[in-house]
A = this chain, B = another copy of it.
Amino acid sequence: MNQITPTPDVFENHESQVRSYSRQWPAVFDTAQGSWITDENGKRYLDFFAGAGALNYGHNHPVLKTALVDYIMRDGITHGLDMSTVAKRDFLATFTEKILAPRGLDYKVQFPGPTGTNTVEAALKLARKVTGRSSVINFTNAFHGMTLGALSVTGNSMKRAGAGIPLVHATPMPFDNYFGGATDDFQWMERVLDDSGSGINRPAAVIVETIQGEGGVNVARAEWLQALAELLKRRDILLIVDDVQMGVGRTGQFFSFEEAGIVPDIVTLSKSIGGYGMPMALTLIRPDLDVWGPGEHNGTFRGNNPAFVTSAAAIEHFWSDDTFEKEILAKGERIRAAFTDLAHRFEGVSTRGRGMVHGLVFADGDLAGKVTSMAYDQGLLAETSGPSDEVVKLLPPLTISEEDLDHGLSILRQATETVCS
């Protein structure tokens, strides 16, 4: 690319200690296509990580690539802040026509800055502004981002400690199945909301992931989500679904909450919404809640127009009918079957997931870490999640072929067999 001769330790010498993934996967990656990623030595890796959910359509999908290069070649506007552009209008029209309208959803679209944490911050700010309340309810093992507003509603204690100030204004409640069925759903939450002496500050909103990816692939049941939505509606508390990681088809349907039939008041999207892995985020707002003043929440990179182009192209290509959704569900079933088999065969191993996000749960983080480490040696990228990193978390591209999927699953099977035998 340029004439600099890279020293072998440029990352060690010049990049901050905060780097993380590069420690577990020490290869220097160079190119990528579909489900495969190639390092500078030409070694290929099957990618079951997919940009932590930002590459649902795989790496550098040819349809999107063509749209992107065409746009760049014709000098389409790259950076547009929140000016009106043709690319943005096309995106808005496509998103409305292909995604919202067919699902009977009516949302205003905010472009809040191109990251997940930024759309979460926008959602929380708006919920507080609308209700005049400062407090928010989040859930155990939630992950919503690293800026102070989003970090306040995130569970991980190591990441919270990084704030350097006490994180306040949020109260965690037990996520679905937190007690393994030993307790009625919402027993605690409903009680404290209705007890004027509970000491809980009445919340502006509840923010929830339908499936907690970082939290360990914890899947909320449809009936739990329905009960949550109903509970909040009766109490005039807003429901924010953070669909940053689980949206855009990861669970089969475009939005992860569709299966439950609920309609959140605010939805956050990022990661795969741009299609090609470029930064983009949306905040979807129930129209009557769109009380923002002009510029009240802003940011420089709200108008990443190349991402609007690839996003619109991806929606056109994948979401004009239900073919893609069916494929996802079928491939998800394949993963489920493979993991269920492993869970049956090995004591202390279990599985959970929905659509094409699945976790293989081990007794502890050591075992899970050994499995992903062995997988890496065999050319498979998969990460761990959960409070003790005890869950091998599978997020393959939704576009993966059945052959590649089976290949990756066989690597994980062998690793599990080795580690657990």
Q: Is A258 among interface residues, defined by CB-CB distance under 8 A?
A: no
Residues of B within 8 A of A290 (CB): 16-18
Q: Is A330 among interface residues, defined by CB-CB distance under 8 A?
A: no
State whether A301 touches B75 (Cβ < 8 A). Answer: no
A291 to B316, CA, bound (A): 45
A398 to B159, CA, bound (A): 39
The quantity of this chain's copies bound in the complex is: 4
State whether A29 touches B80 (Cβ < 8 A). Answer: yes
Residues of B within 8 A of A199 (CB): 138-142, 153-155, 160, 170, 172
How many residues of A are counted as interface, with CB atoms below 8 angstroms from the partner's CB atoms?
Answer: 171
Of the residues B159, B298, B387, contact of A296 by C-beta under 8 Å? B159
- Mark A67-99 against chain B: 1 for CB-CB distance below 8 A, else 0: 111011111111111111111111011111100
State whether A93 touches B10 (Cβ < 8 A). Answer: yes
Residues of B within 8 A of A75 (CB): 31-33, 59-60, 65
State whether A158 touches B293 (Cβ < 8 A). Answer: yes
Q: A59-B79, A155-B199 are in contact. List 17 more A-B contacts (CB 8 A).
A: A2-B94, A11-B88, A14-B95, A16-B292, A37-B77, A60-B75, A114-B114, A121-B147, A164-B204, A166-B168, A168-B169, A172-B192, A179-B187, A179-B191, A182-B184, A197-B387, A244-B300
Q: Chain B nearest CB: distance from A19 CB in Å?
A: 5
Q: Chain B nearest CB: distance from A169 CB in Å?
A: 6
Asked if A1 meets B79 with Cβ closer than 8 Å, knowing A125-B162, A142-B199, A297-B162, the reply is no
Q: Can you sample 17 A-B contacts with CB below 8 Å?
A: A6-B93, A14-B93, A16-B109, A31-B76, A33-B75, A79-B278, A114-B114, A117-B299, A134-B166, A141-B197, A141-B198, A159-B297, A166-B168, A171-B171, A172-B199, A174-B191, A196-B387
